[in-house]
Amino acid sequence: MKKLKDMLHHRRRVWMIAGAGTVLLSLLFGYIGYSVYSWQGLGQQGSEWQKATRNELSTVMSMKAGTAAEKSAKITQLHEVVAGIRQSNEGLCDISMTVSWQTAFKSAKQAQDKCQKLAHESNRLVVSLDRLVKYLENEASLARILENPSLKTDVSDEKAWEASSKAWHEAAIAVKAMKKDTVFTATQKVALAVVDELDGAWQQLLTAHAAQKKTEFASAQGRLEKAYGGLGTINDTNDHEFRTLVTEANARYAAAL
Amino acid sequence: MGVISLQNLVSATAKPAEPLSGLFEIRSLPMALTAIKQSSLQAPAWLKAQDAAAAAAARTVTDTRTVTYSVTTRGTVTADLAEFRAQAYQTLNDGRGWARMGVAFQEVASGGDFTLVLSEASQVPSFSPGCGAEYSCRAGRYVIINQDRWLGATPSWNSAGGSLRDYRHMVVNHETGHWLGHDHLSCGGAGQAAPVMQQQSIDLQGCGFNAWPLASELWSSQLGIR
């Protein structure tokens, strides 16, 4: 009877051990599966982020920009898309603490490194796009100042000189009052110098005109012609600065996406 | 500049070479700069006048031409002939007058390029059917000053407060102007100085009295001066 009892007790222990072993094994396999899923998901999350970002930028790029309103809408949309990319980029490489220790393994480390590289490149792209948006906003502000109708009228006749002088004076004040933005500094500096010179030249011309002084008038006329030539310098500087930013952004786009 | 469409990126994985080129079309500054008008300035009116005067002065210095004239009378002349001679000479050689073309007028005893006549009013028509007894006239080589006008100007001139000396400047310049090749001119605009070739004794047309040729009148087909 005692022998039978011992045998049954032993068998129960075996079953318990076997059951516990099975549970532990199941947990182990579950954890391994979860780990694989997590690390694969990290890579897939990066790919999906890349695809979504490309789509959003592509949609903005294909927006029409013929009229001033369309240009403005496109800048606003780009601004919003960049903010969205920045937000979605945050936590791109976040992974559960239960598996994060696995970076000690080569394949997990590779997945983490790849994701962090993507996060780094996408951050650089966001910075670049941010600079472009700021540049475009500043450029639009300067364009609005220079779109004064009095600057577009024919000034060959003396009757138009006073209005033109007044318009350039107002433009000089407005350009000086523009907010300072590092990304637009070079273009703004050139624009300010050129517009200021045009304002000065027009004032000199009107003074000589009122005094009917031929030599002073000729001198002011020469200064004015030279000052108008400066508008080309604004264009060249603006073009160079913008192209540099676009080239940089394209390179970062290629690296990140 | 070309704009690369990114539509294909939506479903494709291929990356365009310049994915952000679409940003170029957003720019508005290049167009704003292009729209700014940079026309060459036309010389203002005062500068044109100064240049014309300077050109005339230069002609006086470098290319002075002498025009000779004789003085005679017709009919009964009661005016002071010596005064007529002296004042006509002064007018003709005044720096404000035809002399600005680089012309010096010299009186000669007889003949000359033209004849300056102080004529009794009733005798003026005898020079030409186109001449009347009321005003002065020019007929061929004769520059005829109506004695009544010489002595009393015209009612409109006097009522406007013009001096007799200025009227004499005007009438000598006007009639000599015809000999130099000028026809009558109209007032250029209300408030402006009348051209000396305007018939100021008859109607000022809104212009102010002016005894001297305007810069625009400083030419002579008779003398080949343009």
Q: Name the residue with higher pLDDT: B1 or B180.
A: B180
Q: How far apart are CA B103 and CA B181, in angstroms?
A: 14
Q: Give the pLDDT band of residue B168 (cuts 50, 70, 90).
A: very high
Percent of chain B with pLDDT over 70: 89
Asked if residue A49 lies in contact with residue A122, where contact means CB atoms within 8 angstroms, the answer is yes
Q: Which residue has the higher pLDDT, B68 or A12?
A: B68
Residues A188-221, buried b or exposed e (16+ Cβ, 10 A)? bebbbebbbbbbbbbebbbebbeeebeeebeebb
A58, A147, A235 ranked by CB distance to B10: nearest: A58
Which residues in chain A have their CB less than 8 angstroms from residue B25's CB?
65, 71
**Average pLDDT taken over every residue of chain B:** 86
Structural tokens at position A85: 């990319």
Q: What is the pLDDT of residue B201?
A: 81
Mean predicted confidence (pLDDT) in B172-187: 96
CA distance A150 to A205: 17
Report the DSSP pairing between strands B103-107 and B137-139: unpaired
pLDDT grade for B9, boundaries at 50, 70 and 90: very low
Using 70 as the pLDDT threshold, list the residues of chain A that sit under it: none
Q: How far is A43 from chain B (nearest CA, A)?
A: 16
**B164 against A42, higher pLDDT:** B164
Q: Is the pLDDT of residue B90 over 60?
A: yes
Judge whether B47 is closer than 8 Å to chain A, CB to CB. Answer: yes
Residue B58's pLDDT band, with cuts at 50, 70 and 90, is low
Give the pLDDT confidence of B99-128 residue by residue, as tens digits: 999 899 999 999 999 999 999 999 999 999
Does the pTM surpass 0.90? The reply is no
Minimum distance, in Å, between the CA of residue A196 and any CA atom of chain B: 15
Interface test mutation site (partner B, options A58, A121, A235, A238, max chain B beta carbons within 10 A): A58
Give CA–CA dist B153/B149, Å, rounded: 4
- Whether the per-residue pLDDT at B15 is higher than 70: the answer is no
Please report the ipTM that was assigned to this predicted complex.
0.81
A117: CB partners within 8 A, 6+ apart: none
Single-letter code of the amino acid located at A204: Q
DSSP letters of A114-128? Answer: HHHHHHHHHHHHHHH
> In the structure encoding, which two tokens stand for residue B225, read together?
């001066």
Across A55-69, b (16+ Cβ under 10 Å) vs e yields ebbbebbbbebeeee
B15/A143 Cβ within 8 A: no
3-state secondary structure of A157: coil
Tell me what pLDDT residue B14 has: 46
Interface of A with B in 161-190 (CB under 8 A): 161
What pLDDT score was predicted for residue B17?
62
Alpha helices in A90-213 (DSSP H): 97-100, 106-146, 161-177, 185-211
pLDDT tens by residue, B35-48: 998 778 888 989 88
Q: What percent of chain A has pLDDT over 70?
A: 100
Q: State which amino acid sits at residue B147.
A: Q
**In the prediction, which pLDDT does B93 show?**
94
pLDDT above 70: residue B13: no
Model confidence at B29: pLDDT above 60 = yes
Residue B140 contacts A, CB cutoff 8 Å: no
Name, in order, each residue with C-beta under 8 angstroms of A228's C-beta and a sequence gap of 6 or more: A198, B36, B38
Test A212 with B29 for CB contact under 8 angstroms.
no
